[in-house]
Structure 1
Amino acid sequence: MKINVPLPFDHTDAPAEFGTMEAVKQIGQTVEKAGFNAGLVTDHPVPTGRWLDAGGHHAQAPFVMLALLAAHTTTLRLQTGILVLPYRNPFIVARDITTLDSYAKGRVTLSVGAGYLKGEYRALGVDFEKRNELMDEYIQAIRLATSGEEFTFEGDGYQAFGNRIIPGSPQSPLPIYVGGNAKRAIRRVVDMADGWNPFFTMGGEVNSNTTRTASMTGEDDLKAGIDYMKDYAAKVGRAELPEVVLGGVNKPGEVLSYQEILDRIATYRELGVTTAGVTVKGETRNEWCDNAQQVGEEVIAKL
C-alpha cells in the first residue's frame, strides 16, 4: 500500500507560510523523506466567489506547482489530484505534461476529472453539458500526444494531422487515473485509464456545499464500486484491473488516530485499494511538516 498526501499550497490565507519557494522546498523534501508516494495538487483556475464563500478553495496552477516541487525532490511522484481535463485543449495539457515529466525523469501521474462548477466552465468558455464527452475525447488525445510519436487526431473543434510533441513522456505509458464515484466514471476508468480515484463523501447526493458526485459514505460503497469495476472489466474483456487510488483514508471532517488510519488501510487493502491519501493538517509550515513526519513514522513505516 502506497500513501499519497494533498499538499497545502492552496492556503492563500497564509501566504507567508505556504506561498513561498521556501515552503515548496521544505514541504516537498519533508514528504519525500517521510516516505509518501506522491504529492497532490488540485485544480480550480477561476472559481466563482459564490462557491468560495460557500466553503470552496483556491488552487494554484497545477503544473507550475508540480514543476516547483520537482525542482526540490528526486523520488516523490508529482500528481494532479485532480486536473479538470475539459478546461484545456488536450495538446496544451500534453505539452505541459511531457515537459514536466522529462525534466522530472518520469515522475508525473495525471489524475483527471470532469469537474462540476458551472460558473468556472462558463468563465473558461467550455460547454458544461459536453464535459463527459470531452473527457473521453481528451484522454484519447493525450495518450497519443504524450507518446513521443507523430500523431493524427480529430476532436471537437480541433485537428492534428501528423503533429509531434517531442520529447514524449519518458514513461510508457503515462499513468492516467480518473476521479469520480459514479458508474460512468468507473466505466471510463476500465475503458481508458490506468487507475480509479474514488473518494468518500458525507452521504446523500453531495458531500458538501462545494463538491458534487455520487455518494460514497464508507467501506460498503467502496466495495460496491470496486465490484462494479471488476464486473465491467470482465464484461469488456480487460484482464488487468486498474489500480484503486483512494482519495483519502478518512471521510470528510473525520479525525482518526494513527492506529485507526492503519486499521482502515488494512481494510481497504483487502478490498483491492493499492494507494490511499492521508491528509496532513497544520496552521504553519513547521507544524504541517512535523505532522507529515509523524505520519511517516506512525503510519508509512508500519505498512
Structure 2
Amino acid sequence: MTFTLSVTLPFDHIQHGDEFISMAAVKECSQAAEAAGFYSGTVTDHPVPSYRWLDNGGHYAQDPFVMLSMVAACTTKLMLQTNIVVLPYRNPFITARAVSSLDAFSNGRVLLGLGAGYLKPEYKALGVDFDSRNDLMDEYMRAMKLAWTGEDFSFEGTGYTAVGNRVLPTPVQKPHPPLLVGGNSKRALRRTVELGDAWHPFIVPKMVTDTARTANISGDEDIIAAIEYMAEHCEKVGRKTPPSVIASSTFAMTPGWSAQEAIDSYAHLKSIGVAASGTSIPATTRSEWCDMAQEFGEKVISKIDF
C-alpha cells in the first residue's frame, strides 16, 4: 500500500479570524487539500480546555464532527480524520451516532482517530472521572462497535444501560470506520491490538510528552519497540494481522522547508514500519495555506512512490 499523507486543517486558528473561522475558509482549504493529493484532513477535539493550558501552548478546537461534516460537503475524496476524538468525553452512543451519520452521508470517508486524552481540567469541566479514562476508553470502544452493527443490542456501561437499542444507518465502511488508537503507553498499544485497526502515535520530543503527561515516543527505537510490543501482544491474544501504524503529523512546512527532507523523512518512517503520516502548514491566511498545500502536493505528494 502506498504511503499516505494527512494534513492538519487550520480551523482551530481563531486568532486569524475569518481567514480560517468561516465557511469560505472550510471550502477553500478543504478543496485545496483534496486537490493537492492529501489522503485525509484532520481535526482535533478540545471542547472546553482550561485557560492555563491555552495560555501555555495549547490551542482551541472546533467540534470535530461539525467541522468534518462541512469538510465532507465541500469535497468528494478527502478522508475525514479525527486526530483525535477524546472518547471518554461523550456517551459512546452519541459518538457512535455521529460517526455513523458522517460515514453514511460522506460515502465512507471517516477515519476515527481516538484516544483517552490527558487534560484533567477538561475532564473535570465535562463531569468525567479523569482517573477512569482508560477503563472508559476500552468500554466505549466496545459499546460503539455494538451500535455500529445495526442490530438490536444490549450493553451495561458505566452509568448508562442499553436494553435493546438500535442505530441506523450503519457506517458505509464495514464493520465500521478504521479505528486509529492514539496513545503512547503500553496500555494504549494493547488497546490497539485488542480493539483497534491502527496505532496512531504522537511522535514528538520528550519535553512535549513530559508536558502532556503521556509516554514518550520520539525516535526510531521507541517506534520499533512499540511495533514489536504490539506483535508480541497479537501473538498472545491470537490476532493474525498486526495493526498498521498511522502517525500524526511529523513534518511542518516551516520557513525554508525542504521537499527532499520531507520525502526522506517519510521514506524513513516507512522503512521502520509506519504506513502513513502527515504535515502541518503554519500559514496566517487562507490563501497562503492553500498555496502551501498546493506546493506540498507538487513537490512531495506527487513524488512519493513508496
Contact 2:82/2:112 (<8 A) preserved: yes
Deviations 1:159-205 (A, max 9, x none): 1111001111111022111101111111100010001101222115x
Task: Give the structure 2 partner of residue 58 of structure 1.
Answer: 60
Partner of 2:4: 2
String of CA shifts for 1:255-298, please: whole Å, max 9, x gaps: 85211111111111111211101112211101111111111111
> CA shift at 1:154, angstroms?
0.9
Give yes or no for the alignment of 1:203 onto 2:201. Answer: no
Q: Name the residue aligned to 2:225.
A: 224
Q: How does 1:210-289 map to 2 (within 5 A)?
A: 211-250=212-251, 256-289=257-290
Residue 81 of structure 1: how far off its partner (Å)? 0.5
Counterpart AA for 1:85: L
Which residue of structure 2 lines up, in the alignment, with residue 293 of structure 1?
294
Secondary structure in structure 2 of the residue aligned to 1:247 = strand
Aligned residues: 301
2:101 aligned with 1:99, yes or no?
Answer: yes
Tell me how far 1:115 sits from its aligned partner.
0.6
Structure 2 Cα separation of the partners of residues 300 and 3 of structure 1: 8
Q: Which residue of 1 aligns with 2:29?
A: 27
Are 2:8 and 2:249, in contact at CA under 8 Å, matched by a contact in 1? Answer: no
Q: 1:182 aligns with which of 163, 185, 203?
A: 185
Q: Which amino acid aligns with 2:35?
A: K
3-state SS of 2:14 partner: coil
Q: How does 1:109-120 map onto structure 2 within 5 Å?
A: 109-120=111-122
Counterpart code for 1:180: G
CA-based RMSD of the aligned residues comes to 1.7
Give the 5 Å matches for 1:142-181.
142-174=144-176, 175-181=178-184
CA contact (8 A) 2:193 2:230 kept: yes
Query: 1:194 is matched with which residue?
Result: 197
Whether the 8 Å contact between 1:149 and 1:168 is mirrored in structure 2 is no
Task: State the AA in 1 paired with 2:190.
Answer: R
Q: In the alignment, residue 76 of structure 1 is paired with which amino acid?
A: L
Gaps of 5+ in 1: none
Matched to 1:198, the amino acid is P
Question: 1:18, 1:285 within 8 Å by CA — same for their partners in 2?
Answer: yes
Q: Secondary structure at the match of 1:55?
A: coil
What is the letter of the counterpart of residue 52 of structure 1? L
Q: Distance in 2 between matches of 1:222 and 1:254?
A: 28
* 1:45 aligned onto 2:47: yes
Q: Which moved more, 1:227-236 or 1:16-25?
A: 227-236
| Percentage of identical aligned residues | 52
**Does the 8 Å contact 1:281/1:291 carry over to 2?**
no
Question: Which of 89, 100, 120 is matched with 2:91 structurally?
Answer: 89
Q: Secondary structure of 1:165's partner?
A: coil
C-alpha deviation, 1:133, in angstroms: 0.2
Secondary structure of the residue aligned to 1:92 is: helix
TM-score normalized with structure 1 length: 0.96
Shift of 1:249: 2.4
Q: Secondary structure at the match of 2:75?
A: coil
**Residue 86 of structure 2 contacts residue 116 of structure 2 at CA under 8 Å; is this kept in 1?**
yes
Structure 2 alignment gaps of length 5 or more: none
CA–CA separation in structure 2 for the residues paired with 1:241 and 1:272: 11
User: Within 2, Cα distance between the matches of 1:296 and 1:234?
Assistant: 39
Residues 111-163 of structure 1, C-alpha deviations (whole Å, 9 max, x = no match): 10101111000000000010000000000011111222221111111111110
What CA distance in whole angstroms lies between the structure 1 residues aligned with 2:250 and 2:189?
19
